[in-house]
Amino acid sequence: MIAACILPQKRESAERSRSKRIHAWFKQKLFRTLKTQHYVITRLSVKLMDAPQ
């Protein structure tokens, strides 16, 4: 009886922690991608500004 009450909570918390981990990983990946894109765009704009008109 008690085990039946504990098991669903354990499984739920495990799924929640897994989704949290996936969310954190996704956010990190997105942030890194945005940073890279920002870096590339900055470099391109600097090159364009430095180029003789």
Instruction: Summarize pLDDT for 34-53 with one digit per residue, the tens.
Output: 999 999 999 998 888 887 76
- Report residue 12's pLDDT band, with 50, 70 and 90 as the boundaries: confident
Percent of residues in the chain assigned helix, strand, coil, to nearest 5: 90, 0, 10
Note whether residue 11 is domain-resident: no
- Higher-scoring residue by pLDDT: 32, 4: 32
Number of domains in the chain: 1
In this predicted model, which residue has the larger pLDDT, 49 or 9? 49
Question: What is the phi-psi region of residue 52: left when phi exceeds 0, alpha when psi lies from -120 to 50, beta otherwise?
Answer: beta
- Tell me the pTM: 0.51
Within-domain flag for 46 = yes
What pLDDT shows up at residue 15?
Answer: 84
pLDDT at 11 over 80: no
- Whether residue 1 is contained in a domain is answered as no
Residues spanned by the domain of 33: 22-53
